[in-house]
Amino acid sequence: MDNFIVSARKYRPATFDSVVGQKSLTTTLKNAIKNEHLAHAYLFCGPRGVGKTTSARIFAKTINCQNLSAEIEPCNECESCKAFNENRSYNIHELDAASNNSVEDIRTLIDQVRIPPQIGEKSVYIIDEVHMLSSQAFNAFLKTLEEPPKHAIFILATTEKHKILPTILSRCQIFDFNRITVEDITEHLAYVAEKESIEAEHDALNIIAQKADGAMRDALSYFDQIVSFSGSKITYKSVIENLNVLDYDYYFRLTDAFQKNDYSTALLIFNEILTKGFDGHNFIVGLAGHFRDLLVSKDPQTVELLEVGKSIKEKYLEQSKNASLQFLLQALNIASACDLNYKNSQDKRLHVELALFNMCQITNKPVVPTNQIQKAAKTEEEKPEYQKKTEVKNNTSTISIKSALSGKPTPIKQVENNEPKEKIQEKEKISNTFTAEDLINAWNTTAGKIKQTKPRLHSILKMSKPVLAANFEIKFNVGNDLQRDALIKEEKMLLSSLKELLQNDEIKLTIGISKQEQTKKHLFTDADKFKYLNEKNPNVAKIKTKLNLDF
């Protein structure tokens, strides 16, 4: 039985041209070799599995190749290339900083740097996960990194650039590796599947590419996992089952249910998703992503942002035609709000279900039973002509049909009115009567609402009781000017709350200062205090004069 080699190692790039998704970086490195503009230190940074260490090895191999091709690629035939391919090269040294991060390890490396190469012109030192070095190790490395021997080149690789000291960054040429696109990963997986004589559906490979999140190494690991599960044929169904990915079909069915206001179907679909072991938070994040994909599918210019398989892409284009822009935006807002508040919710399932209810209500319209519509229409026909409320004038249409459900006119959207605003009838004001007791109850309710948010205003409102005067005027006295000013600033809010609670739009609020408080204020001025004490004991005035005292 042959030894199995994982695809991530078996199909690891050996040349610059075989590196996937980093064309601009590999071209820059090839030009540096071609023009002999090699720096003494490089920093390769970016997400995991995008080719940092692989590119560093290819770069090191190409630098020492004795017979470079016209495309600036290693020949794989010279002694240096053969030594590299057989892992016996003394020109290329790798150090894992995750496990060799002490000052002693760096000092050992510095001593090794002094030794010139046996074959070729350059000794290349690749330090992987360089952000794991301790601060002392970084400081010990600074001088050598800035002024290395002529034959030495350092290539540092890291996934966390922000942890590297600025003094290190300033001494390196920095190359930022990008996440590999879903399209590039899918294409490379198709190449690997062809080499391995494996039949793979395009949509299945696309799901693997999305699951990898821009990391080629992860994509190849998932590929091997699926091959072990399904054998020589990879299908869309086998991928979503093995990788625990939620099928797109759930999201399409849910969106159809939302547009039909069918909350029962939406809840049953969500229950089915939970039964299969999927997390509610991942579900709502995926649903938000589905609405986003529908949005970008509505415009031919943005449809290129859709990173899905061909057959699934057709479904998105079809459903996006039936979904209005307003529906998608509101649904996306609801899903985003549910995502943000999910962790703080005590009942997480109910939290998601409420979001589904709200999505079902986006396109909801009031439904009147058929028999009630017929009854209302019949009543309308029996009216004399002058009583019928139908008018067609200046592109304006007003229809009034009473709903038997509520006993109130059913609101119907009014067409644009071109008449002057002065002629538009104002909303009828409410002026229900109320007692002094009703006023105090409403006042206390208003004060209770703002107790937590505006404690100072709450204390002012609780100082005394409001008085009901004629013509729905409410009089309320405070202790001083500062309190009155604070109340005047919130007068609009107070009136709005009182009008709503008391069902009266004619309420007015008059704020004054209590005469008793004014008197108290006058009695306790410094001059009055002195006058009062002097009347009790005339010697107080003598002491003031003798000691030359003042207020």
Please state, in angstroms and as integers, the Cα–Cα distance from residue 324 to each residue in 153, 235, 250, 329, 413, following that order.
58, 33, 20, 9, 18
Q: CA angle at residue 516 from 513 to 517, to 5 degrees? A: 55
Q: Are residues 151 and 268 in the same domain?
A: no
The pLDDT tens digits for 251-267 are 999 999 998 888 899 99
Average of per-residue pLDDT across 236-242: 84
- Look at residue 120 and tell me whether its pLDDT is greater than 80: no
- Asked whether residue 211 is assigned to any structural domain, the reply reads yes
- Look at residue 399 and tell me whether its pLDDT is greater than 60: no
- Look at residue 67 and tell me whether its pLDDT is greater than 80: yes
- Look at residue 398 and tell me whether its pLDDT is greater than 80: no
CA dihedral 539, 544, 548, 549 (to 10 degrees): 160
Greater pLDDT, 386 or 38: 38
Provide the CATH number for the domain around residue 193: 1.10.8.60
What is the separation of C-alpha 271 from the centre of its chain, rounded to a whole number of angstroms? 26
- Asked whether residue 109 is assigned to any structural domain, the reply reads yes
Lowest mean pLDDT among 16-25, 87-96, 387-396: 387-396
Q: Are residues 98 and 172 in the same domain?
A: yes
- Look at residue 3 and tell me whether its pLDDT is greater than 80: no
Q: What percent of the chain lies above the pLDDT cut of 70?
A: 86
Kindly indicate the confidence band of residue 44, based on its pLDDT and cuts at 50, 70 and 90.
very high
Q: Are residues 16 and 162 in the same domain?
A: yes
Query: According to the model, what pLDDT value does residue 515 have?
Result: 66
Query: According to the model, what pLDDT value does residue 314 have?
Result: 84
- Asked whether residue 489 is assigned to any structural domain, the reply reads yes
List 174's β-bridge partners, or say none: 43
Query: According to the model, what pLDDT value does residue 412 have?
Result: 39
Q: Are residues 226 and 253 in the same domain?
A: no
Could you tell me the two tokens for 535? 């009347």
Query: According to the model, what pLDDT value does residue 374 have?
Result: 53
- Look at residue 358 and tell me whether its pLDDT is greater than 70: yes
Q: Are residues 140 and 28 in the same domain?
A: yes
- Look at residue 25 and tell me whether its pLDDT is greater than 60: yes
Q: Are residues 27 and 157 in the same domain?
A: yes
**Of the residues 242, 257, 278, the one at which a domain ends:** 242
Kindly indicate the confidence band of residue 417, based on its pLDDT and cuts at 50, 70 and 90.
very low
What is the residue type of 243? Answer: L
Provide the CATH number for the domain around residue 502: 3.30.300.180
Greater pLDDT, 310 or 39: 39
Lowest mean pLDDT among 99-103, 330-334, 389-393: 389-393
- Look at residue 423 and tell me whether its pLDDT is greater than 50: no
Provide the CATH number for the domain around residue 98: 3.40.50.300
Query: According to the model, what pLDDT value does residue 381 have?
Result: 53
Q: Are residues 291 and 171 in the same domain?
A: no
The tally of domains found in the chain comes to: 4
Provide the CATH number for the domain around residue 258: 1.20.272.10
- Asked whether residue 431 is assigned to any structural domain, the reply reads no
- Asked whether residue 387 is assigned to any structural domain, the reply reads no
- Asked whether residue 130 is assigned to any structural domain, the reply reads yes
Q: Are residues 356 and 480 in the same domain?
A: no
Q: Are residues 192 and 121 in the same domain?
A: no
Lowest mean pLDDT among 60-64, 272-276, 547-551: 547-551
The pLDDT tens digits for 159-187 are 888 888 888 888 889 999 988 888 889 88
Query: According to the model, what pLDDT value does residue 365 have?
Result: 57
**CA atoms of 279 and 284, how far apart (whole Å):** 9
- Residue-by-residue DSSP string for 225-250: HHHHHHTTEE-HHHHHHHTT---HHH
* Contact (Cβ atoms closer than 8 angstroms) between residue 59 and residue 167: no
Kindly indicate the confidence band of residue 210, based on its pLDDT and cuts at 50, 70 and 90.
confident
- Look at residue 414 and tell me whether its pLDDT is greater than 80: no
- Look at residue 427 and tell me whether its pLDDT is greater than 80: no
**Of the residues 334, 360, 386, the one at which a domain ends:** 360
Average of per-residue pLDDT across 307-333: 86
Q: Are residues 136 and 220 in the same domain?
A: no
The pLDDT tens digits for 482-521 are 888 888 888 888 888 888 888 888 888 888 887 654 444 4
- Asked whether residue 268 is assigned to any structural domain, the reply reads yes
What is the layout of strands, in order, in the sheet containing 508-513?
467-468, 473-478, 508-513
Query: According to the model, what pLDDT value does residue 2 have?
Result: 58
Q: Are residues 299 and 194 in the same domain?
A: no
> Across all residues in the chain, what is the average pLDDT?
81
- Look at residue 301 and tell me whether its pLDDT is greater than 80: yes
Kindly indicate the confidence band of residue 419, based on its pLDDT and cuts at 50, 70 and 90.
very low
**Of the residues 345, 360, 375, the one at which a domain ends:** 360
Kindly indicate the confidence band of residue 551, based on its pLDDT and cuts at 50, 70 and 90.
low
- Asked whether residue 152 is assigned to any structural domain, the reply reads yes
Collapsing DSSP to helix, strand or coil, 101 comes out as coil
Q: Are residues 124 and 168 in the same domain?
A: yes
Average of per-residue pLDDT across 221-234: 86
Query: According to the model, what pLDDT value does residue 333 have?
Result: 92
Q: Could you write out the three-class secondary structure of 320-376?
A: HHHCCHHHHHHHHHHHHHHHHHCCCCCCHHHHHHHHHHHHHCCCCCCCCCHHHHHHH
List 475's β-bridge partners, or say none: 467, 510
Element housing 523 (H / E): helix 515-523
Hunting for tokens 């229409």 — which residue is that?
377
Residue 313 belongs to domain spanning: 248-360
